[in-house]
Amino acid sequence: MNLPKDPFILLSYINTKLRDENPSIDDLCLSLNIDKTWLENTLSSIAYTYDQDTNRFIAE
């Protein structure tokens, strides 16, 4: 699967997957075969970080 290149569209896509299909970021990365560090760094570039309690990326 090709992930969205735009970080804001990626954010929306990832948060939807976390909400609907994946109970954790680790599960998401495994299911999409993506690197967790890459994902966190990409979304950090637009000031979003993963919140384990809500299982989504939120604004810093």
pLDDT at 6 over 70: yes
Q: Average pLDDT, whole number, for the chain?
A: 97
pLDDT at residue number 14: 98
Measured distance CA(24)–CA(52) in Å, rounded: 8
Each residue's pLDDT tens digit, 8-24: 999 999 999 999 999 99
Measured distance CA(30)–CA(8) in Å, rounded: 21
**Whole-prediction pTM:** 0.94
Give percent above pLDDT 90 in the chain.
97
DSSP 8-class letter at 57:
E
pLDDT at 28 over 80: yes
pLDDT at residue number 43: 98
What Cα–Cα distance (Å) separates residue 59 from each residue in 14, 30, 33?
Answer: 14, 24, 24
